[in-house]
Structure 1
Amino acid sequence: MSAWPAPFHAQPLNTSIRVPGSKSLTNRFIVLAALGDQPSVIREPLVARDTVLMVRALEAMGTGFEFYDNALFVYPGPLRGASIHAGLAGTVMRFLPAVATLANGDVEIDGDVAARVRPMDPVVRAIEQLDVLIDHGTNAAGQATLPVTVHGTGSVLGGRIGIDASASSQFISAMLLAAPRMESGLELRHTAGQIPSTPHLDMTVDVLRGSGIEVFTFPRDAGPVRPGHPAVRWLVLPGIPDVGNVEVEPDLSNAGAFLAAAMVTGGFVEIQNWPRITKQPGDQLRTILAQMGASVAMMAGRLQVKGPEQIEPIDLDMHDVGELVPTVAAVATFATGTSAIRNIGQLRGHETDRLSAITTELERLGGKAWVEDDDLFIEPRPLHGATLQTYEDHRMATFAAIIGLRVEGVSVENIATTSKTLPQFPQMWQDMVAGAAVVRANTADLPVEGPEGTASSPDPAPDNGATA
C-alpha cells in the first residue's frame, strides 16, 4: 500500500466540520440493545470498522440488525454460540466475552495479530469468578490473551467479583454492561491501582441508567461518588435494558484532529453539534487547547477554536483522557517550549504502544521526545519530511496528518487504518485543506477496513463475524 501524502498547509485554515457519531457510545448502545427484549433504534450511529465488527459479532450470536436512513434497528434474540472476529477493537474484544457468558453455547473470540498482545487478563479473571468456563491464550507473563472461548450455558448467577482495571477501564465497562441480565445482578469492586479513562466509566453508567437499569457507584466503599473521588465499587441491579429510540452524540475525540488543525495553523475550526453536556473524554479538549493558547467558544451548539500565534507548552496529567494524547502531542510538537504529558502509562496497552510510537515517529521527523516512567516529554525542534508509520493505530494516523499540516513532505503509511473510527478521514482532511466551507462526514456507502487491512461494506450482513 502506497503512503498517503499528508496535505501541507502552513497558512491559517477556516472551516466548519461535522463529525459522525461516537464509537464509544455507539458500541455501548449496541450491546445494551442486544441484551434487551424489544426492538431499539440507534440514530446517527458511527459506521466504522469497530462498530461494524460489533454488529457482525452480535448478529452471529443471534441479534438482528437493519441499517436504514442513518439509523440502526436492533432486534434482540436469544444469544447463541458463534465464532467471531474482534479486529483490533478494544470494545469488541473486551465487551463481548462478558456478553458471551449469557449465551447458550461456545463463543470463540479472536482478532487481528496485534490484538493478541493487548491486555485481556482482567476480564477473563472476572468471568472465571462468575463460575463460567473460559479458555484463553497466554502470554509470556502468564496473563490471558486472545483468542478466548467462553462456554456459555444461557444464564449467569452474578454476585460479587473483584477486578484490576488499572490497565483499562474497558474491563469494568464490559462487566457492567452484561450485569443487568445476570440473575442477581453484579457487585463489582476495583481492586488495585488507578483506573484510566474514568470518563468512559461514567459514560457506561449513564447509558445503563438511560436504559432503565439501576446502577449505584461508591468511592472507597462509602457514600455516593463526588467530583474528585472516582468510584471503586459498582452495584448493578438485575433488569432488562430498554435502549428505545436514542441518538448518538458526535465523536468528540475524532473531532480533536480537526481542532488541532486550527492550533497548528493559527486558523479557525468550528465543530457542529457539540453537546452541551457529555461524558465523552473529548470534551476536555476545550480546556486543554485553551491552556495551549487557543481561543475557545461555544456558540449555538458549535464549538469554535481559534489557534494562537504561539502555542504554549503544557504540563498536564492526562491519565483520564489518554485517547487524546496523540492529538495533544502533535500540537505540543510546535509549542514554544517543552511539554510534559503525565501519568499515561496505560497507553502502552492501546492499539499499539503509543508512548513508543509517538517518540519513534517524532525522532523520525528530526524531533525530540522521550518517556520517563509514565510521563511523555516533547521538546520542539525544527522538523523535516518523512514517511510516518501508523502501527495499525488510527490515532497515530491522525497524529501524522496534523504534523503534516506544518511540515512539508510528510507521508503516512496505511492511512486506511483511520477506518477503525472515521472511514471518511482522508477525504474530510483534504476537503478541509482545500477550503470547503463545510466538511461533512457522509455515512452512506462507506468502505470499512476489514481484518488485516482488507476492505468490506458497512452492510451488516450475516457472515458469522469472520470479516469486518
Structure 2
Amino acid sequence: MKEPRAWAAPFHPGPVDAAVRLPGSKSLTNRYLVLAALGEEPARIHRPLIARDTVLMARGLAGMGAALSHEGRTLTFTPGPLGPARIEAGLAGTVMRFIPAVAAFAVGDVTVDGDPAARTRPMDPVVRALRDLGVEVEHAADASGRAVLPVTVHGTGSVEGGSVEIDASASSQFVSALLLAAPRMERGLDLRHVGPPVPSSPHIAMTVEVLRAAGIAVSALADDGSPSSPGRPAARWTVEPGTPRLGDVTVEADLSNAGPFLAAAMVTGGRTAVLDWPARTAQGGEALRGIFTAMGGRAAYDPDASTLRLQGPHRIAPLDADMHDVGELVPTVAAVAAFADGPSRLRNIGQLRAHETDRLAAIAAELARAGGSARIEGDDLVIQPRPLRGARLESYADHRMATFGAILGLRVEGIEVAGVETTAKTFPQFTDMWSELACAPGAGAALCPDGGQRAPTPGGSRPRLIEPAAPGVGFTDGELPA
C-alpha cells in the first residue's frame, strides 16, 4: 500500500532573520482551565492556547458541567456542579492525569480514555493516590498490573484529603494533578514524593505559582524540610483548603514552542527574536536561553520590549548538560546538536521513554535515517554529528518529533516529515509559521510557503514578523485539530 504523503520540510541554506509571536502556553492554559472548573465564580482566560490538548481539556471539563464561551482571544469559563461524563483525552498527558483528580469532586462516574498510544502511558501514581484518599477508581492494567487508561472515577462530590505519598519519578504531572485538586479537599493535602527525583520540576513550580495566584496557600519543601529553591527541588507539598479565585488571567507565550524558532537561528547562523517573552516565568522553555548560549549562540533580553533575541553562531559548540528538569526540550536541542562540531551528551532523561513515544529511541532512529548518529547510554543520549542527507522521518504521533524533523530540514535538503499534523497537539499553526520562517530574507534562496523562491535581500533589513493565524477551531465548536 502506498505511504501517505509526507510534509516536505522547508530548506533554508542561509541565515534566517525573523521575529516570532507565539500562541499561548499549553501548560498554563490547562492549569487555568482546571482551577476555573474547581472555583465558584466565572474566570476569564485571555490568550489561551487553542490546540488539540487544550480543546480536549476544555471540552472534557465542560462535559462534566462547566459552561464555556469563547469570543475573540478570551475564554470565559463558568464553573458548575460536576457530574458524570465520558472524556476523551487523546494523547494529552495533562488531560489523562489531571481530569481523574477533578472527577473525584463529581457526583457520578467519570471515565477517561484516550488514543491507543495513551493506553500505554503510566497512570498508576495518580490512581493509587486517589484511592489512598478514599476515592473509588477502576482502571485497565498493563502487563505488570499497573494502572493505564481507561480509568473510571466513581465521584461522590467530596474528598476528605489528608496525607498521601506517591512515586512521581515517571512524570511531574502526577504531582500537579493532585496539587490542582487539593484546594477542594476538606482537609487540604499533604503530598510527599518518595522515589527517584521528579522530572520536569519547573512544571510543578508552575502549578504552585498558579495556585498561589488564585489565592491558595501552598508550601513546597525540600527533602530536609527547608523551602525548595533552585538546586533543591521540592519533595513535599502542603495545600490548604480553599476556593480558587482565578479572576482574569493572561496566558504567557509558550516558550517550549519557541524552541524550534530559536533552533533555526542556531543551525543557520541567523537571528530570531521571540516577542512576548516573559521577564519572569516558571516555564521550562526559559532554559533555552542558557542552553543555546552554551552552544555558541548570543542571547539578549529586552525587558522594555519583552523580547528575547538570539544570534546563531558560526559554529555550534557541543553540549554536555543534565536535561532532567527540561526533558520536553530534548528533541529541539538534539536537532541542534546534530550540527555541532563535536559529540553532545544530554543527561538524565530516562523519563522520555514514557512520553508520547519513546523519545530516546525515536531521536536515535530518525537521526540514523538521515545519516546521523545517536546512541543511548543508560538514561543519557549521546549525539555524534555526521554529514546528514535527505530522508523521510517519522513523527510517531509526537509533536516534538515532528518539529525535530523540521529543524533538521532547514539545513538538510530533502527532509520529509510523516505525520507533521501531530503538531496540532500544541501548535496548530506550526507548519504555516515554519514555512514563513524559511521564506524570510536571508543569504541564499529560500523556499516560500507557496512553493516558489524568494531572492535574498541585503543584510540589515527588518526581520520578517511571523505570527499565528486563527486556528479555525474554538473551545466549544468545530472539529478538533488533527
Provide the TM-score with structure 1 as the length reference.
0.96
Residues 1:254 and 2:281 aligned together = no
Letter in 1 for 2:467: R
Segments ≥4 residues shifted beyond 2 Å: none
Residues 1:314 and 2:319 aligned together = yes
Letter in 2 for 1:330: A
Letter in 2 for 1:441: P
Q: Matched residues in 2 for 1:272 and 1:96: separation?
A: 32
* Cα offsets for 1:381-403 (capped at 9, x unmatched): 01111110000000000000000
Residues 1:333 and 2:348 aligned together = no
Which of 403, 423, 430 aligns to 1:425? It is 430
Q: Matched residues in 2 for 1:383 and 1:467: separation?
A: 32
Which of 374, 385, 388 aligns to 2:390? It is 385
Letter in 2 for 1:297: A
Which of 283, 301, 309 aligns to 1:304? It is 309
Letter in 2 for 1:260: A
Which of 338, 341, 344 aligns to 2:349? It is 344
Partner of 2:24: 21
Label 1:312 to 1:279 Cα distance change in 2 as closer, same or farther (>3 A). same
Q: Matched residues in 1 for 2:376 and 2:134: separation?
A: 41
Q: Matched residues in 2 for 1:346 and 1:459: separation?
A: 31
**Counterpart contact for 2:191–2:238, Cα < 8 Å:** yes
Q: Residues 28-177 of structure 1 correspond to what in structure 2 (within 5 A)?
A: 28-177=31-180
Label 1:196 to 1:459 Cα distance change in 2 as closer, same or farther (>3 A). closer
**Counterpart contact for 2:97–2:174, Cα < 8 Å:** yes
**Counterpart contact for 1:368–1:378, Cα < 8 Å:** yes
Partner of 1:3: 6
Report the secondary structure of 1:10's partner residue.
coil
**Counterpart contact for 1:367–1:381, Cα < 8 Å:** yes
How many residue pairs were aligned? 455
Residues 1:412 and 2:417 aligned together = yes
Residues 1:356 and 2:348 aligned together = no
Report the secondary structure of 1:9's partner residue.
coil
Q: Matched residues in 1 for 2:184 and 2:45: separation?
A: 20
Which of 209, 214, 234 aligns to 2:212? It is 209
Q: Deviation of residue 369 (structure 1)?
A: 0.4
* Cα offsets for 1:165-223 (capped at 9, x unmatched): 00000000000000000111111000111110000000000000000000011111522
Letter in 1 for 2:423: T
Residues 1:292 and 2:319 aligned together = no
Residues 1:441 and 2:457 aligned together = no
| Structure 2 residues without counterparts, runs of 5 or longer | 442-463
Residues 1:460 and 2:465 aligned together = no
**Counterpart contact for 1:53–1:467, Cα < 8 Å:** no
Q: Matched residues in 1 for 2:76 and 2:334: separation?
A: 38
Partner of 1:452: none
Partner of 2:228: 225
* Cα offsets for 1:120-151 (capped at 9, x unmatched): 11111111101111010100111100000000
Q: Matched residues in 1 for 2:476 and 2:5: separation?
A: 29
**Counterpart contact for 2:124–2:146, Cα < 8 Å:** yes
Q: Matched residues in 2 for 1:408 and 1:227: separation?
A: 41
Q: Which stretch shows the higher mean deviation, 288-297 or 430-439?
A: 430-439
Residues 1:369 and 2:410 aligned together = no
Q: Matched residues in 2 for 1:239 and 1:179: separation?
A: 9
**Counterpart contact for 1:225–1:231, Cα < 8 Å:** yes
**Counterpart contact for 1:85–1:467, Cα < 8 Å:** no
**Counterpart contact for 1:94–1:120, Cα < 8 Å:** yes
Q: Matched residues in 1 for 2:481 and 2:136: separation?
A: 26
Q: Matched residues in 2 for 1:414 and 1:461: separation?
A: 24
Q: Matched residues in 2 for 1:231 and 1:46: separation?
A: 28
Q: Deviation of residue 467 (structure 1)?
A: 9.7
**Counterpart contact for 1:348–1:355, Cα < 8 Å:** yes
Q: Matched residues in 2 for 1:102 and 1:109: separation?
A: 15
**Counterpart contact for 1:56–1:461, Cα < 8 Å:** no
Label 1:460 to 1:296 Cα distance change in 2 as closer, same or farther (>3 A). same
Label 1:190 to 1:128 Cα distance change in 2 as closer, same or farther (>3 A). same
Q: Residues 169-208 of structure 1 correspond to what in structure 2 (within 5 A)?
A: 169-208=172-211
Q: Matched residues in 1 for 2:411 and 2:229: separation?
A: 42
Report the secondary structure of 1:253's partner residue.
coil
Q: Matched residues in 1 for 2:230 and 2:430: separation?
A: 35
Label 1:14 to 1:308 Cα distance change in 2 as closer, same or farther (>3 A). same
Provide the TM-score with structure 2 as the length reference.
0.93
| Structure 1 residues without counterparts, runs of 5 or longer | 448-456
Report the secondary structure of 1:60's partner residue.
helix
**Counterpart contact for 1:166–1:194, Cα < 8 Å:** yes
Q: Matched residues in 2 for 1:285 and 1:226: separation?
A: 20
Residues 1:395 and 2:411 aligned together = no
User: What RMSD in Å do the two structures reach over aligned CA positions?
Assistant: 1.3
Q: Deviation of residue 459 (structure 1)?
A: 4.0
Q: Deviation of residue 462 (structure 1)?
A: 10
Label 1:467 to 1:390 Cα distance change in 2 as closer, same or farther (>3 A). closer
Q: Matched residues in 1 for 2:314 and 2:356: separation?
A: 34
Q: Matched residues in 2 for 1:467 and 1:133: separation?
A: 33
Between the aligned residues of both structures, percent identity stands at 58
Label 1:64 to 1:467 Cα distance change in 2 as closer, same or farther (>3 A). farther
Residues 1:324 and 2:329 aligned together = yes
